[in-house]
Amino acid sequence: MTTLVLLRHGETLLTPERRLSGSGGSNPGLSPAGRRQAEATAQALARRGGIEAVVTSPMRRCQETAGSVAARLGLGVQVDRDLREADFGLWEGLTFAEVRERHPDDLSAWLASPEAAPSGAGETMQQVTRRAAAVRDGLLARYAGATVLVVSHVGPIRTLIRLALQAPPRTLFRMEVAAASLSTVTYDVDGTATVRALNDTHHLS
């Protein structure tokens, strides 16, 4: 059995305000609170043990989170560009309320269909799904039987969980994936996935 432990990056200054922060935005690093979350997560994963590799999105907030954990585990960090967050186009830096006010039709279309892009030629969730699935398949092939920490964002993490559950695209918006939360998916040798944990934040309390 292969295990992917999915870690969302720690908070940035945008996170508490629930502002969209994708791959087309300002690429913020961790806030002081986010750095504390990363260290708490590192401690928890060190106690857990068993992680054999750390793979991260190239976004600054993820690399900083992954670096804290990997240092505690004595592992290197591998960067995979396909773990980046979606590009939210003109919505970058906005709250959903602000998007709804400025781009109501585009937001309705995006929420209704994975083939719709955010305003300004952003990335569709269908495109995010393709690259997240490719990352998953590569990790399962490379680390068969091992446990891998995957440090990423809300979009790719929700997508990997949705695919594991064989759930429809609309369920993406029915999952909470908090900053520095841990979710776990295991894969049998035949590829059958089981979601073992979702949005675990006990290590942050």
Alpha carbon 61 to its chain centroid, in Å, reads: 11
Identify the DSSP state of 163: H
Residues 87, 6, 185, 170: is their CA dihedral positive or negative?
negative
CA–CA separation, 39 and 116 (whole Å)? 37
The answer to whether residues 157 and 84 touch, using CB atoms and an 8 Å cutoff, is no
Strands 147-152 and 2-8: parallel
Burial code (b: 16+ CB inside 10 Å, e: under 16) for 3-29 equals bbbbbbbbbbbbbeeebbbbbbbeebb
Nearest C-alpha neighbor of 160 from the set 122, 178, 186:
186
**Catalytic machinery residues:** 9, 85
